[in-house]
Structures are given as C-alpha cells and as structure tokens.
Amino acid sequence: MEFYRDSTWVLEYLEGQIEKTGRVSGSLQTIVLRCCKQYRIKTNPKHIYAIVSSCWKYKPYLDKIMKKSGLLDAIPRKKGKPAFSKLTLLLLCHDLLLSKAKRIQMGKHPIKNYVLKYKNALNAEFVKLKIKLKITDLSQVVDKDDAADDMTPVRWIRINPLRISNHDTDQVLNELKKKFPTRVNTWKDIIPGSIYYDEFIPNLYGIHISDKITSHELYKQGKIIIQDRASCFPAHILNPSADDVVIDACSAPGNKTTHVAAHIFGDPENPRNDNVQIYAFEKDPERAQILQKMIKTAGCHKNIDVNVGDFTQIATPSKYSDVTGFILDPSCSGSGIFGRKSVDILNNHGKKSNDEVPDENDAEETTDSKNEQLKERLSKLASFQFQIVRHAMSFPNAKKIVYSTCSIHAEENERVVIDLLLDKKVQSWGWRVAKKELVLPTWYRRGFKEEFQEVFTDKTEQECQELADGCVRALPKEDGGIGFFAVCFVRD
C-alpha cells in the first residue's frame, strides 16, 4: 500500500500545481525527487516516476473508464468523507488495466477489494473505449516516444580540479580508465564500459547512461560532476581568468557556477586563494539550498557568495562595480531538456475535464490552441530574459556576458539577442555579439542567420552570418545531450 500511497502524494502535488498556477514547471523527475524529499517518501523514486508518468499519460482515458464502470459512484464513506482517494483508485485501475502483469501490486486491503469488485465492469468499459477509438491498444493514441525517447543519449561527466591535489586531473582520469577501459572516438560509439574524451570541452567525458557513476568514490568526493555537455558551454565561452570577478545571475543547481570556479581557481600554475570572486544569485530559497550544497561538494564554497533573491532587484551596478563577466541562464521554456514530454502531458491533461477524451475531429482546433498558448508563453519568457541580460549589461566594468537557454525556440534565443542589439541603452553601453573565434569556434551548429536577416535588412548576408556565428546551438539527442543555445556579448 505504501507504493500507491506515496505515488498518490505525488499526483496530489501535481494536481495542486495545476489548480494553483495552471501548469507544472520543471521536469517530472525533478518533481518526483522534490516530493520524495518533502514527504520523506521511502519508496524508490524511479518506481514512483514510472507509474506517475504512465498514469497521467493515460489519465483522460482511465477517468472515463472509471466513471462509466460505476466505480466512482459507490465509494465507501468514512466520517462523511470518501474512504478512498480518487487518485489512489486511478493508480490501482492503471495497474489492473495497463500494467504488464495486469494486477494490483499490494496484499489484502479494502481499497484493493473495492477495485476488484469492479474488475469486470472496468474491463468491459476498457474494451468499449478501444472499439470507439478504433484501436487495439491505448498506446496508439498517445505519444509513444514520451518515455523511452525522453532521456539523454550520453551521461556526461566533468572532472573537477578543485577537489584534486595540485589540480592534477590526470589522477582522476587514470581512475576513470580503470572503470571504463575502452576509449571510443565519438560519443555515438559509446557502449557500456566505454568512455569518450570530448573534443570541445576540456576535462569532459561521455559514458553510457546505463553505467553507474553516482556510487563511485570520485563522484561522492566531488572529483567528478555530472553535467550535460551543452551546459558546459557558458563557462567555457566566458573563460574567466584568475583576475576576473563573475556573477552567475540564475545559479541553481550550481553546475555552471562550479564550472566557472574551476576556470578561475583550477589552474595549477596559479596558487589557490579564499577570495570571493563569484557572486551567485538564486531567487528560490529551496533551490538556493541545493546551490549551497553543490558548491560545497565541489570545494569552492569559500570563493562563492550566494545571494538569495531576484538578481535584477538586489544586484546593483554600484554594489558590484568590480564584476567583469556574467553567466546568464534564466528561466526558459525548457523545450530542449529531457523529462519535459511527461510534464507537457501533465499540463495538457490538466486543462481537460475528466470526461474529455481526445478524438480525431478536434485535433486541428487543439493544435491551434496549443500554438497560441506557446506563443504567449514564449513572449512572456523572452521579455523576462531580455530584462535579465539588459540589467547585466548596465554593470560598469563588465566586459563579457554569456547568455544561454535550454530552449530550441528562436523567440528565447536569437530574437532576444536582436532585441538587445536594437536597444538604445545597450548600444550606448557598447555591447556587441562576439566573433566566432571567441564562441566555441569548432562547434558545428551555429545560430539561425535567417532571424538576423529578417530584422537587420540594412546588413549584408555576411554580417548577419557573423551575428549568427556568435551564437551556438545544440539539438536534443542529435548533438549528444540537451537542446541548448548560447551567445556571447563583449565590449572594449
């Protein structure tokens, strides 16, 4: 019963979020882990994730089957209230009808006995629904790629020099060679037990997603950090030296922050000091705690000053006049990250009534509605992103800014760059898009030239290409990890 109880708590959290804000934010994996921590759940989070993601995917159909079967009409009452939660009943019906074993995973219990009383009625309604939809399996009417395809093709690990004596990364690499004896030439050739040495980011390696690395002592000691390759782009592009002072304006969970620290303090030729040279900002107190834990594990907590609050409100140019560089990775649509498909299903189903089952007749209307909702959301996000970057550009001694998103949409990427370049204040401050030589020059996928051509009609094709070349893009899965965008702004 604990398994279904714990899963019910997660579903209740999701329903509460949708009722409160109209949508669910973050990946489903993150939400499950957050609930496990909040409710002190002992059930394996992987098992909860599996049933919750599948259950919500099929929820409109299960709701219909449950209602038609009469199961919801005769729920026993205790002290004037239903004795069983509808969401727990949903979970049990999911396993009874859709799991491989077609059975409820629990011993004798009143709620199990209640559901089994309606087993024949549930199966009958299930068959009727499939006939009505002209299908043999419900998977034919849902996105079959949402679970199996919604994961990274590579597990990327970064060696952290800050936890290594004399910053000698070869010590850790030699240990990794023992666990992964086979070296491959491209990430596409990675198999269990093999390792790929990345050609773009120093000290970054790719391993197979099935290889267990979190139980390794190197990970526990903070000597290696799991971080997607594209997520390593910003710090690598900023490339701060021991003399730089950097603000990471949207820091949590802290991977980019600690990567910046590795650049500033990880050079074996420069003696390590305890000076604060990184100011990390995080608006959410809970995420700020995760950030604190991350930088402590990475061994750079003495060099980073964590500030809880809105960067645009509490970070003033006069207070941080010594800042020379910025990492800006603000909230975005997350359209390039894994784990979003399940959340998109949550959000879409949350807007439907329990009786509403999609059919082929309203597909066009649904698509148009989704497109309008997406445009509105991207517009709001782009406005927020613009304000973050523009605020950073007002700092007097800043010379280099890297703006990034884990989005694939031009609205949050090239069009934000264009809006900044057109802004009179930004122009007066002297900011421009950096040349390709400063922005991962050997990376093969650049920004969309067409976006710049559409607006800057007075510029030549070559000039628009140069603007696009100051941006880098990564496609989800196709480029070995998450979808990503980064651009570098510089001034003299």
Residue range 189-204, pLDDT digits in tens: 999 999 999 999 999 9
The per-residue pLDDT for range 97-122, each reduced to its tens digit, is 999 999 999 999 999 999 999 999 99
The confidence score (pLDDT) of residue 15 equals 86
The per-residue pLDDT for range 445-492, each reduced to its tens digit, is 999 999 999 999 999 999 999 999 999 999 999 999 999 999 999 999
The confidence score (pLDDT) of residue 139 equals 82
The per-residue pLDDT for range 315-349, each reduced to its tens digit, is 999 999 999 999 999 999 988 987 655 555 555 55
Binding region for S-adenosyl-L-methionine: 250-256, 282, 310, 329
More confident residue, 214 or 356: 214
CATH superfamily assigned to domain 151-226: Sun protein; domain 3 (3.30.70.1170)
User: Do residues 71 and 122 lie in contact, with contact meaning Cβ atoms separated by under 8 Å?
Assistant: yes
More confident residue, 339 or 132: 132
Q: Which ranges of 227-306 would DSSP assign to H, the alpha helix?
A: 233-238, 255-265, 285-297
The confidence score (pLDDT) of residue 350 equals 53
| Phi, psi of 160, deg, nearest 5 | -100, 105
The confidence score (pLDDT) of residue 360 equals 43
The confidence score (pLDDT) of residue 119 equals 96
- Whether the pLDDT of residue 143 is over 60: the answer is no
Query: 304-341: buried (b, 16+ CB within 10 Å) or exposed (e) per residue?
Result: bebbbeebbeebeeeeeeebbbbbbbbebbbbbbbbbb
More confident residue, 173 or 139: 173
CATH number of the domain located at residue range(s) 234-352+380-491 in this protein: 3.40.50.150
Residues labelled catalytic: 406
Percent of the chain's residues with pLDDT above 70: 91
Nearest to 86 by CA among 106, 114, 109, 54: 114
Q: Tokens 């439907």 identify what position?
A: 352
| pLDDT confidence tier of residue 141, bands split at 50, 70 and 90 | confident
**E strand or H helix at 213, and its extent?**
none
Mean pLDDT of 236-264: 96
Binding region: 250-256, 282, 310, 329
CATH topology of domain 1-143: N-utilizing Substance Protein B Homolog; Chain A (1.10.940)
| pLDDT confidence tier of residue 274, bands split at 50, 70 and 90 | confident
- Whether the pLDDT of residue 149 is over 70: the answer is no
User: Do residues 398 and 323 lie in contact, with contact meaning Cβ atoms separated by under 8 Å?
Assistant: yes
The confidence score (pLDDT) of residue 340 equals 59
Mean pLDDT of 126-145: 81
The answer to which of 23-37, 40-54, 163-177 has the lowest mean pLDDT is 23-37
Domain-wise residue ranges, the chain = 1-143, 151-226, 234-352+380-491
Mean of per-residue pLDDT scores for the chain: 90
